[in-house]
Amino acid sequence: MLLAVDVGNTRIKAAVFEDSILLEQFAFPILEFKNAIENILKKYNNCNDLIVASVGNLDNSDFLAFETNVKVHFVSNEFPFPFHNLYQTPKTLGIDRMVLASGAVLKYPNQNRLIIDAGTCITYDFIDENDNYHGGAISPGMQLRYKSLNNFTANLPLLDIDDFNNQIDLEINPNLIGNSTQNSIHSGVINGLVFEIDGFIDQYQQQYSNFIIILTGGDAEFLAKRLKNTIFANSNFLLESLCQTFQYKNTK
């Protein structure tokens, strides 16, 4: 068994795999990291390996404490990946983006792929059908947009997706023309993000055929209903990609 752990900026996601089958997934705040991992390893005491992809602030030493129970593997830029990295600054490329690219190559061979990860930031990563990783884009995620409007202005309130969900049917977007300050913020944040993602997809599809779009991340389910373009939405794609990357490494 394999325990895959994705350390984000605010939360940790984890999943236990038997071969390539996801048995159970978990999510918890970083502050609860130690107890949560201990409890997972007690429940799945047949786990032999733990693989970590981190963009957060936990040190590797925090995971090495578990080496009495499992062998710990840290994904780094030196890890073997199934693509050619054409990024001009490869050492600055986030581990999460590399793992997502790896999963896209392994799961969807011989296609042009665009992975959109909708989390704290929105990342766009493009890998062509010849398995060349080119790069992409980074923009503020949904919560960052809400928070920035509150943090950098004197009078705008702090809102979030829950405020929108509580007042408007989940299946529709905010009105383009907000008729109050709150509705104007929801329109700017949600519609703006949907227009951005659809715009990126349209531009890629104009340049490339044989194309697949993968949407993942914490806000993937919310956004998938609102995008006009056809996508594969999978909020667990990074954890699944971690498992596939680990298996790929063991074949090298």
CA-to-CA separations, 148 to 55, 69, 207, in angstroms, rounded? 21, 42, 33
Q: How many CB atoms lie within 10 A of CB 136?
A: 20
Residue 163: active-site member: no
Q: Which of 96, 117, 125, 219 is catalytic?
A: 96
Catalytic residues: 96
